[in-house]
Amino acid sequence: MSLKLLFELSKAGSNKFALPEIDVPVTAPSCGRKSDLLLPELPEVEVMRHYAALARLVHGVEDGPYPLGSCTMKYNPKINEITASLDGFSQIHPLQPADTIDGCREVLSIMNSSLCGILGMDAVSFQPAAGAHGEMTSLLVMHKYLQSIGQSQRTKIIVPDSSHGTNPASAVAAGFEVVTIPSYSNGMVNMEALKAAVGDDTAAMMLTNPNTLGIFDKQIAEMAAVVHGAGALMYYDGANLNAIMGWSRPGDMGFDIVHVNLHKTFSTPHGGGGPGSGPIACKAFLKDFLPYTEVGYREASDAKKSIGKVKAFHGNFAVVVKALTYILTLGSDGLKDASGKAVLNANYLFSKIAALYDEEYRPCMHEFVVSASKAGEKWGVHALDIAKAMLDEGIHPPTIYFPLIVKEAMMFEPTETESKESIDALAETMRSIFATASTDAEALHAAPLHAYIARPDEVKAAKEMVVQWTVNS
């Protein structure tokens, strides 16, 4: 089957809908367009079939388990979609007078206090469109703050070698220099290396806790003391709060600023490029440096110190409505329970499959990392082959080859929305894939047999990106 774009399926004149005759004077000039807007022309039913066909080609959490570590592919309750599409939230314009959108302002206000409560922070900006965007915005906030106190010589950002790849990338994008420090073999930050790395050129340390190995770094208070002692700031990568909601708070751990992915922890859909939402939250002393928005609660005088805007208005507002629906549906006890079950599910899955990987038992938080290197040595079967075989079994593979410090890494995050039966079945599937690996490695090298795209050349896909379709090509 070859899938065509809507533009390729388009037939001139085939969509016969008609807009009513205009019955008011035309006042706005055309937008200066020299030719007609190029839009595909298709009957509605063909458009629906196209999207339904696309949906059948991908694996979503509604098709089966999706234990993609560091991504929190939990089930997104449909009530979130219902609230986000209410007219009062969806049929509005950002330039409407503020007093006609009180309800929307209230959503932001309740979400603001909810996030401050969950994070132990004092102020929030909803502008960033996703996690990495939140990281960069936070780095700009820290930069402006350090400038304001005469500390512009602080140009270095410390990240542990277990960090998510976006952390060093954002630091560089924001104009900082990255200093990577090693971890101990138990996955925690090497304190001696941290102490040696900090100095009066350190701007901040970026950390996620639990880290990308799924391990809660118990040295956090000491780390914060070392970094603050050197006059630098603590940044929390809160893309994934699934292990800690209601149990511990970045603000209490000593962090000064944090970003959150509403599209992970707070059950709004992601994958396929968004829309996401990566609000940032900070302690009071950084508040004035947050991005400035016209509509809302902050006075115009705040704008003087602000880093400016990183996106129009309040960012992806509909995502905030969905996330707030989730928070209010669960309540504070429910959020705490969700985190507790996310950690329980990860430990349960780990206990069922760790032996396949010849791993020592290691209690984890909401996710865990195992290494498939033994399967490679014994049978020539690699993390990639195991992941591809999972696709044929109706399970999305875990994150593979990340974090980089673990060879042949496979990073599982089952999330709290999988039942015990579902995790048992997942573990059984892993057992049968490993059984096949030991007897018929070729079968795994040939996997997947049932995916639309089987084994693309990932290097080529990354290096020769074709993201445009040219008319008449």
Ligand X SMILES: *Cc1c(COP(=O)(O)O)cnc(C)c1O
Q: Which residues lie near ligand X (CB under 6 A)?
A: 70, 130-132, 164, 166, 208, 237, 239-240, 261, 276, 278
Separation of alpha carbons 108 and 106, rounded Å:
5
Separation of alpha carbons 68 and 346, rounded Å:
12
First-to-last C-alpha distance (Å) of the chain:
20
Q: How far apart are CB 22 and ligand X at their closest, in Å? A: 42
C-beta of 120 vs 238, nearer to ligand X: 238
Is residue 364 within 8 A of residue 350, CB to CB? The reply is yes
Is residue 241 within 8 A of residue 260, CB to CB? The reply is yes
Half-sphere exposure of 231 (CA within 13 A, CB side): 14
Is residue 415 within 8 A of residue 74, CB to CB? The reply is yes
Is residue 410 within 8 A of residue 387, CB to CB? The reply is yes
C-beta of 261 vs 417, nearer to ligand X: 261
Q: What are phi and psi of 243, to 5 degrees?
A: -90, -15
C-beta of 112 vs 277, nearer to ligand X: 277
Q: How far apart are CB 247 and ligand X at their closest, in Å? A: 18
Q: How far apart are CB 240 and ligand X at their closest, in Å? A: 5
C-beta of 236 vs 434, nearer to ligand X: 236
> What is the β-pairing status of strands 156-160 and 202-207?
parallel
Closest residue by beta carbon to ligand X:
131
C-beta of 128 vs 246, nearer to ligand X: 128
Is residue 114 within 8 A of residue 324, CB to CB? The reply is yes
Tokens of 352: 């069922």
The C-alpha angle with vertex 109 and arms to 104 and 114, in degrees rounded to 5, equals: 125
Separation of alpha carbons 272 and 426, rounded Å:
24
Helices (H), 266-372: 317-353
Q: How far apart are CB 319 and ligand X at their closest, in Å? A: 11
Q: How far apart are CB 259 and ligand X at their closest, in Å? A: 8
C-beta of 168 vs 448, nearer to ligand X: 168
Residue 123 forms beta bridges with which residues? 282
Tokens of 168: 């060093």
C-beta of 166 vs 183, nearer to ligand X: 166
Residue 287 forms beta bridges with which residues? none
Q: How far apart are CB 91 and ligand X at their closest, in Å? A: 27
Nearest to 132 by CA among 255, 324, 260: 260
Q: What is the amino acid identity at position 367?
A: E
Q: How far apart are CB 367 and ligand X at their closest, in Å? A: 9
Q: How far apart are CB 60 and ligand X at their closest, in Å? A: 17
Q: How far apart are CB 135 and ligand X at their closest, in Å? A: 7
Q: How far apart are CB 13 and ligand X at their closest, in Å? A: 41
Q: Which residue has the tokens 């049932």?
A: 450
C-beta of 249 vs 382, nearer to ligand X: 249
Nearest to 315 by CA among 106, 74, 127: 127
C-beta of 166 vs 417, nearer to ligand X: 166
Tokens of 255: 């962090």
Q: How far apart are CB 123 and ligand X at their closest, in Å? A: 21
For residue 423, how far is the Cα from the chain centroid?
Answer: 23
C-beta of 83 vs 265, nearer to ligand X: 265
C-beta of 70 vs 125, nearer to ligand X: 70
24-40 exposure pattern, b = at least 16 Cβ within 10 A, e = fewer: eeeeeeeeeeeeeeeeb
